[in-house]
Amino acid sequence: MSILCLYPPLAFSEIQDMVKFEVAKNYYRQGCAHFNAMRYLASVEFFRKAVKEYPDYYTARDHLARAYKLAGFADAALKEWENLAEISPDNVAVLSKIEGLRFQDAAQERPMDGSEYVEYDAYKSSAYNRYRFKNPVDIAVDTEKNIYITSFSEGSLVKLDTNGRGVFSIKTSISGTLYGVDCHEGKIAVSDFRGDRIFILDANGGVLLRFGASGNGEGKFHGPEGLCFNEKDELYVVDSGNSRVQKFDDSGKFILQFGKKGEYEGELSKPTDVVTFGDRVYVTDTGNKRIACFDDSGNFIKNISGEALDSPRGITRHRDLLLVSDEKKGPVFYRPAENAFAPFGEGSSLSRAVSSAVDRDGYIYCLDYDRESVVLFSPVQKQYSSMSLEITSVDTASFPVVAFYVNVRNRDGSAVYGLDKTNFTITEDGALITNIYSDYLKRLMPSVSISLCVDRSKNAERYRGDLPWTAEFILQKMRKNDSLEVVNFNRESWVGNRFDWSRRRALKAIRERDYGEGKNIGKALYAAISDLVPRLNRRGVVMITDGSVDGDSFRNYTPENIINYAKSHYIPIYIISFREPDERLRDIAVETGGGLFRPRDVDGLRSIYSRIKNAEEYRYVLVYSTFKLKSFRGWWADVKIEADHKGQKGVEWGGYFVP
């Protein structure tokens, strides 16, 4: 009896490879389960096993590198991606990750000047219907990169979102003509030139406060124009018709005034705009073709003039520079530290620049009065670099609804904020997903999760009586939707109280007297960050310590591991030190975006809770309904996520096992 073989038999080595791959695939799947639960170090162990079992399992090696990076071990991640690059030298995605890590490691802040900007887009009033901005005179950008434009002839305030789409066009009064606009902490200030009033609005255009009247007395105006908030939420207003600047508190109460009509020191002629820079106030003294500088008490400092200025109108701050919009000569930078002008750039299409605004990513928005348009300029390096996308978790618990947790960063590692669903494209197994939802975190009720690390070493025991009142600066501000855990540490670390909103239970845990030898700071901070990573509200670590460090403080996790781990997940670390702290603690606090305080710094202690709660949300959760059915259980779905924003693009590949 003969048997007909349609396929050649598999070699023994091929069978072994198949068996090894199936074993590796099982390890990989377990690693993905830990990765998606944001237990990155646990996932590392399974991805390593998968790679050891089957060295050519490139997807497992890539996930191993991702897990290392998200766990704070950037060097180990770089090594794994470099191994992949040797195996597959044409893999653009891997090369991009390597380049990004190396660039972030070497990146240093460079001085910005006009040669670093390139014009790349324009929002023209004529392209809008309900949101046209005829005769535009001033512009501002808020923290979400929404754009506000005042239309003088229409007396309206127009709001465009970060992608240039119209949000609203409102009028504060029937006969008003709006001029100046500025934003600060969710509030918008606008000046009514004809009505001689100031309006404070919320982000939706609702009126929160109005003040002012016609005249030349305190708190009265004759044609108010540009205005600006300072860091204390105080408002400076250019009272152009009265040739002065007035300063008000956050309730609209008059504080002081400075300037008078003339051409000599401290005098102004047709002033138009104002900006604060530290304790200095700069006013565009348009009629005198200069900028007048005062201190924040209204004392005259100096006049700034030169060939770069002919008719300065708008003025705004950009890092350590001032950007002046001269309607005849165009935009120009001024460096206060050097008392020198720097060119903005060449080749722009601006006809009559009257105002400019800058967002925190360094994009510049110039308002062109004649062409009724907003001309956008990008830092040139952003036009030749890509954004970095990283998937931090995939949630399939509500399948067929799938949620991808994604971080988006610039090439230098800073967060890209203010994106919405139109900036993302998702493709699953080659099919375009059209029903993306991206506002999940934004719509959650604002709340905080804090991990309070308490030093229980022998050195810190002398301060045990000071712990409760120090912690009270945070505990007294907490609400029922907030939560706090207590993590104790000396040689080891342990949880004294799980996440809870109860002030009483937290204080009970803080008053414990379980002090001992050692001071394993790295282990405690790493555990605190790990507990916070999966939580969806605003998060922060607060450590109370005597400030000393011993030889074993960072034996498990180095300061670099802690800093990388916290920065990977946007978790700031605040350190309260009873004595002068070790420099390594200072670095951890500063590098993670937190702060370092001594107990005598009462204002600083009081600010910690609000700084955490009011922090911006940089994480994105992209939610969509997949076309796959539950019958696909065990199937691996390939997913590609792309981002596109202001000329920058980024892409990341990932996927999930159908549950």
Instruction: Tokens for 305, please give them.
Output: 């003039």
What average pLDDT score do residues 107-125 get?
A: 68
Residue type, 484: L
Q: What is the pLDDT of residue 11?
A: 52
What average pLDDT score do residues 198-220 get?
A: 95
Is 177 a residue whose pLDDT tops 60?
Answer: yes
Name the band, by pLDDT with cuts 50, 70 and 90, for residue 1. Answer: very low
360-411 residue pLDDT tens: 888 899 999 999 999 999 887 666 567 889 999 999 999 999 999 999 998 7
Q: Are 497 and 475 in contact (CB under 8 A)?
A: no
Is 6 a residue whose pLDDT tops 60?
Answer: no
Residues 6 or more apart in contact with residue 445 via CB below 8 angstroms: 481
What average pLDDT score do residues 628-635 get?
A: 89
Residues 6 or more apart in contact with residue 442 via CB below 8 angstroms: 617
Instruction: Give me the percent of the chain exceeding a pLDDT of 70.
Output: 94
Is 16 a residue whose pLDDT tops 80?
Answer: no
Q: What CA–CA distance (Å, rounded) separates 630 from 551?
A: 54
Residue-averaged pLDDT of the chain: 91
533-577 residue pLDDT tens: 999 999 999 999 999 999 999 999 999 999 999 999 999 999 999
Is 112 a residue whose pLDDT tops 60?
Answer: no
Name the band, by pLDDT with cuts 50, 70 and 90, for residue 14. Answer: low
Instruction: Tokens for 306, please give them.
Output: 């030169």
Q: What is the pLDDT of residue 15?
A: 64
Q: What CA–CA distance (Å, rounded) separates 404 from 643?
A: 13
Q: What CA–CA distance (Å, rounded) separates 622 from 436?
A: 6
Q: Are 291 and 334 in contact (CB under 8 A)?
A: yes
What average pLDDT score do residues 124-133 get?
A: 95
Q: What CA–CA distance (Å, rounded) separates 322 from 275?
A: 9
Q: What CA–CA distance (Å, rounded) separates 59 from 56?
A: 9
232-290 residue pLDDT tens: 999 999 999 999 999 999 999 999 999 999 999 999 999 999 999 999 999 999 999 99
Is 68 a residue whose pLDDT tops 90?
Answer: yes
Q: What is the pLDDT of residue 109?
A: 44
Q: What CA–CA distance (Å, rounded) separates 466 from 546?
A: 11
- Which residue segments constitute the domains of the chain, with CATH numbers given? 21-106 (1.25.40.10), 114-383 (2.120.10.30), 388-440+620-657 (2.60.40), 448-613 (3.40.50.410)
Pairing type for strands 353-358 and 401-409 reads unpaired
Q: What is the pLDDT of residue 143?
A: 87
Sequence length of the chain is 659
Residue type, 361: D
The pTM of this model reads 0.82
574-593 residue pLDDT tens: 999 999 999 999 999 999 99
325-347 residue pLDDT tens: 999 999 999 999 999 998 886 66
Name the band, by pLDDT with cuts 50, 70 and 90, for residue 2. Answer: very low
Instruction: Give me the percent of the chain exceeding a pLDDT of 90.
Output: 78
Pairing type for strands 224-229 and 207-211 reads unpaired
What average pLDDT score do residues 119-125 get?
A: 92
- 175 by DSSP, 3-state: which? coil
Q: Are 388 and 619 in contact (CB under 8 A)?
A: no
Q: What CA–CA distance (Å, rounded) separates 186 from 213?
A: 25
| Closest by CA position to 527, among listed 14, 33, 37, 39 | 39
Instruction: Tokens for 362, please give them.
Output: 């360094």
Q: What is the pLDDT of residue 383?
A: 61
Q: Are 157 and 205 in contact (CB under 8 A)?
A: yes
| Closest by CA position to 640, among listed 31, 97, 93, 33 | 93
Instruction: Tokens for 1, please give them.
Output: 């009896």
Q: How many CA atoms lie within 13 A of 468 on its CB side?
A: 10
